[in-house]
Chains A and B, each alone.
Chain A
Amino acid sequence: MEPGIVTGQTLRPEEYFVETEPYYEPVGDEIEVFEAAWRNQLPVLLKGPTGCGKTRFMEHMAWRLKRPLITVSCHDDLTASDLVGRFLVAGGETVWVDGPLARAVRCGGICYLDEIVEARKDTTVVIHPLADDRRVLPMEKRGELLKAPPEFCLAISYNPGYQSVLKDLKQSTRQRFVALEFDYPEPELERRIVEKETGIEPELAERLVKFAHMTRNLKGSGLDEGASTRLLVQAAKLIVSGIPPVAACRAAVAQALTDDPEMLAAIHELSASLF
């Protein structure tokens, strides 16, 4: 990063091609399964805890398959027209504007709906016709059907870990997808990931992974989730920039995991014992 004038780059969603290979360590056969699903025009469901690499995997697959990637982070106000599109008034006339899902279908891209359970239940239903062998997107307002090209791919993700009774994926939705399960990688692999992502010393990476396991031991006894691989990478980046490990763990991991003072103190003591 250099001082001076900063200019962001504007891109249309359908032009967002991932050009350099995103770093991804396969845990099993997920790359092959995803490719096979894509060739057979099957939609894919990624499940797993937060920060274990689902989004990175999608970027990697977009690069591998050379398709534009359109990501939608779902929230509880997300309506069907937010996905499909809507009429807007411009200069005295109504103009149709495609939503991200419609754009992805038109350009044969990959549409990734992140944390799908967060969206309202009636919203999830609009993807149904796209997610079975019909592969069409009904655009009710225009009275049209949009047929998906073979290159189009629909992927959704959800986290089975923090499921409440209110946030469950309906059977009618989940049974349309090829499901890939993600979890935190094995210690050895996780160490390699932290190392490669940040350039941290192997010894420190190993201790960070051990630290993550300690926080995962606390899951259910006061923590909802243990430290994710993403948090570890962030902590490692701070350490590489010269922050002492214990301080980095506090800022990047402990404070991110909880607000409970006792739990914070305990996590802090764990990192202080490790480093």
Chain B
Amino acid sequence: MAAVPPPAARALEGEPLSAAAIEARLDEHLDLVLSSRRTAAGPARELAAFSRAEQELVLRWVAVLAAAHAELAYQFASLAPRALRLMDEAGVEAWVRQAMDTYDSAGLYPAVAALREVEAFAERARARAAGLALEEVAGVLERYVRGLGGRPLKVEAGEAPWTDTETLHLPPVLGVLGDREGNFRLYKAMAVCLWAQCWFGTWRAPLLARLREAGAEAAALYAALEALRLEARLARALPGARRELDTLAAALAVAPWPEPWPEAARRLAAPEATAADSLELALAWAGRVALPPPRPWEGPPRPEAVAAVLEARLERERRSLRRELAALAEEQRGAVPDPVRLEAAPFTLERIEDPAAPEGFTFRLELDGQPIEPPEEVRGLLTSIVQDLGEIPEEYLVPAGPGEYDAGAQPAGRDPRDVWKGMYHEEGAHLHDEWDYRRGHYRKRWCVLRELDVHPVRDGFVERTLRRHRGLVASLRRTFEALRGEDRLLRRQPEGEEVDIDALVEAYADAATGQEMTDRLFVRKRREERNIAVLFMVDMSGSTKGWINDAEREALVLLCESLETLGDRYAIYGFSGMTRKRCELYRIKRFDEPYSDEVRARISGIRPQDYTRMGVAIRHLTGMLREVEARTKLLVTLSDGKPDDFDGYRGTYGIEDTRMALVEARREGIHPFCITIDREARDYLPHLYGPANYVVVDEVRKLPFKVSDVYRKLTS
């Protein structure tokens, strides 16, 4: 059969477009940013020289970029000819995507700057092809330093290797050494040296203050001297890592340290040498000794960045530790903390020799003179504080009084714009990717989601519902009881608790007639256990206002009754929000929470909120279901319409993102299912959930009954 290319393919193979034709198509999208002095003629003229396929590629991306910002699209069109000469089509697409990611996270100007760095990007792409990208090994490196001990450190891309004592910034790509293995060794060398800075006290708070006064030159000398000291410490603690550094130095032909550095190295290699010695030397040498060329695995230090992170952390950890200790004291003594008794600092630390620790000792926590085993969080905090200060100041050991409990909690007002201020991972907020079908790519960390509690309302709603649907509740209970795993007798088993008399009689008869006797002579009792975890995701958008909301709440009440009979594990969350920066999940019932009065009051307290951004809610709940151990996992959505949000999350965009989120859920072994009252749902639900995984309930008043019924059918 002769293949007939589809129309699009024919266009791609066709004659190149003329400059005028390109300009006309560019004008369509770039209208907003063009003027009499700035036209699309220049880019169009240059693009006319390329093949039709390349032209179409550029025009397609111009359309996508123009949807975000016309200026960005204009810049792209102007730079595209240069990019096409430097890279193949896949490379150009990667370059645009990276600019779009920058636009998403940082805005127009950084994105335009990213586009303009087309040469650098092409260079990195070439290096990446030959070398090793950080993202390939970041997971291994992060676990590696986590295993080495101390405060957890994240790995992120930066220009030169440096650390702010919470994050290791490593170059995005390494191609210095010819092969992947060699480049990985180099990454590992960077990681272990930065880890050593954090672990062996390069960035102690008291030293840092003096270092910042001393100026940039002294700081650079200090970093170089510390590198010498840490090499010696590594040789003692991690001889294998030290050997690898030496191998790397040989492979990269690193010149030996010039005089007077070897002499300093000998002094700093002494077991009792500390960072303070390095600092003394650095101050003495400032203005007299030249810096040696940096080792390939070292970068310039950034004391200012460290100081900012350190200051915030000291305060945060002091508060957290005192809060944790108060909780610990309460737990151990079984009483509410008594401010008078707390004054007496009930916690003390006993020093214990431990040659493995950087200081040669660790601490044992004692409460009222009795040693206690601190919980994981407290141990982590103590380690981190010792890393910063070299000790635990006494005031840190005073448990927080009752008034100080909420000092570290969330600020009361939630302004969606605040989320991006300060450290991006603010407490309580989760960041999720979102799928953009036009780019065929995820927008990274695009949605900011918070888990909130539904405000419980005790207005007798649940009791009224149960009374009104008395008959229904009784029949639901009966049906669901029948579903519950019953003991089943398995007959004629080779092993079992009891003799199967029927089988035995037959076997005797067989034996008497000279036939072979079976060994399947037992009955065995076996319970078919239901092993199901189900998460209900309830639409709390503004459109549910009124009787839909009532029907949803009634449905949940009946559902809970049914599920309690059945004994399946279940959780209920509501979702809503407005814009990507304020996605909200409302806890109604967690998996580990019993169906209590509190939960009932929360069901009663479900109120319509804002919009329906479904993708992010599905992604978050998928993560939650992943943690649950069950043979069957269900994610049931209760909704009243299409995904829809204020900032363009509608139509195909919203549907495609939701679909992608559901695909991700299925990949995790979760069965998504949807119950909706939207009569038009048949147009889009099959696309989202697949042909058999949704139910449209035509009448809202049937919803309460239907939800339980659907669940019964789904799981039997």
**Chain A positions within 8 Å of B147 at CB level:** 214-215, 217-218, 266-267, 270
Nearest chain-B residue to A273 (Cβ)? B241
Question: Given the complex of chains A and B, what is the CA–CA distance between A246 and B239 in angstroms?
Answer: 12
Question: Given the complex of chains A and B, what is the CA–CA distance between A94 and B143 in angstroms?
Answer: 60
With beta carbons under 8 angstroms apart, the residue of B146, B239, B499 that contacts A217 is B146
- Contact in complex: B143, A222 (CB < 8 Å): yes
Query: Which of B240, B497, B499 is the most central at the interface, judged by chain A CB atoms within 10 Å of its CB?
Result: B240
Nearest chain-A residue to B525 (Cβ)? A79
Task: Say whether, besides A221-B152, A246-B240, A273 and B143 are in contact (CB < 8 Å).
Answer: no
B514 to chain A, nearest CB (A): 15
Query: Which of B148, B188, B356, B521 is the most central at the interface, judged by chain A CB atoms within 10 Å of its CB?
Result: B148
Say if the beta carbon of A164 comes within 8 Å of chain B. Answer: yes
Say if the beta carbon of B306 comes within 8 Å of chain A. Answer: no
Say if the beta carbon of B285 comes within 8 Å of chain A. Answer: no
**Chain B interface mostly:** helix
- Contact in complex: B497, A80 (CB < 8 Å): yes
- Contact in complex: B146, A89 (CB < 8 Å): no
- Contact in complex: A266, B240 (CB < 8 Å): no
Task: Say whether, besides A165-B629, A273-B238, A275-B240, A214 and B149 are in contact (CB < 8 Å).
Answer: yes
Say if the beta carbon of A27 comes within 8 Å of chain B. Answer: no
A165 to chain B, nearest CB (A): 7
Say if the beta carbon of B354 comes within 8 Å of chain A. Answer: yes
**Chain B positions within 8 Å of A263 at CB level:** 143
Q: A191-223 vs B: 1/0 string, CB under 8 Å?
A: 000000000000000000010011101101110
**Chain A positions within 8 Å of B238 at CB level:** 273-274
Say if the beta carbon of B504 comes within 8 Å of chain A. Answer: yes
A93 to chain B, nearest CB (A): 12
**Chain A positions within 8 Å of B354 at CB level:** 187
With beta carbons under 8 angstroms apart, the residue of B140, B188, B629 that contacts A262 is B140
- Contact in complex: B504, A269 (CB < 8 Å): no
Question: Given the complex of chains A and B, what is the CA–CA distance between A87 and B149 in angstroms?
Answer: 57
A85 to chain B, nearest CB (A): 11
Question: Given the complex of chains A and B, what is the CA–CA distance between A89 and B494 in angstroms?
Answer: 12
Q: A161-175 vs B: 1/0 string, CB under 8 Å?
A: 000111000000000
- Contact in complex: B497, A266 (CB < 8 Å): no
- Contact in complex: B497, A81 (CB < 8 Å): yes
Question: Given the complex of chains A and B, what is the CA–CA distance between A81 and B144 in angstroms?
Answer: 49
A59 to chain B, nearest CB (A): 27
Question: Given the complex of chains A and B, what is the CA–CA distance between A86 and B148 in angstroms?
Answer: 54
Interface residues of A in 246-264 (CB under 8 A from B): 246, 262-263
**Chain A positions within 8 Å of B531 at CB level:** 166
Say if the beta carbon of A265 comes within 8 Å of chain B. Answer: yes
Question: Given the complex of chains A and B, what is the CA–CA distance between A166 and B499 in angstroms?
Answer: 30
**Chain A positions within 8 Å of B690 at CB level:** none
B216 to chain A, nearest CB (A): 32
**Chain A positions within 8 Å of B148 at CB level:** 214, 217, 270, 273
B199 to chain A, nearest CB (A): 12
Question: Given the complex of chains A and B, what is the CA–CA distance between A94 and B238 in angstroms?
Answer: 67
Q: B340-375 vs A: 1/0 string, CB under 8 Å?
A: 000000000000001010000000000000000000
Say if the beta carbon of B393 comes within 8 Å of chain A. Answer: no
Question: Given the complex of chains A and B, what is the CA–CA distance between A222 and B188 in angstroms?
Answer: 20
Question: Given the complex of chains A and B, what is the CA–CA distance between A217 and B149 in angstroms?
Answer: 6
- Contact in complex: A266, B239 (CB < 8 Å): no
Interface residues of A in 84-99 (CB under 8 A from B): 86-87, 89, 94
A104 to chain B, nearest CB (A): 20
**Chain A positions within 8 Å of B239 at CB level:** 274-275
**Chain A positions within 8 Å of B356 at CB level:** 187, 210, 213
Interface residues of A in 76-132 (CB under 8 A from B): 79-81, 86-87, 89, 94
Nearest chain-A residue to B149 (Cβ)? A217
- Contact in complex: B140, A266 (CB < 8 Å): yes
Question: Given the complex of chains A and B, what is the CA–CA distance between A222 and B147 in angstroms?
Answer: 11
- Contact in complex: B188, A218 (CB < 8 Å): no
Nearest chain-B residue to A207 (Cβ)? B239
Say if the beta carbon of A178 comes within 8 Å of chain B. Answer: no
**Chain B positions within 8 Å of A269 at CB level:** 140, 144, 188
**Chain A positions within 8 Å of B521 at CB level:** 89
Can you list 22 A-B contacts with CB-CB less than 8 angstroms, sorted by A residue number?
A79-B524, A80-B497, A89-B499, A89-B521, A164-B629, A165-B592, A213-B149, A214-B149, A217-B149, A218-B147, A220-B376, A221-B146, A221-B152, A262-B140, A266-B141, A266-B143, A266-B146, A267-B147, A269-B188, A273-B148, A273-B238, A274-B241
Extra 7 A-B pairs, beta carbons < 8 Å, given A213-B356, A275-B240: A79-B497, A164-B629, A165-B592, A217-B148, A265-B140, A266-B142, A267-B147
Considering the complex of A and B, which 5 residue pairs feature the smallest CB-CB distances, nearest first?
A266-B143, A273-B241, A214-B147, A262-B139, A273-B238
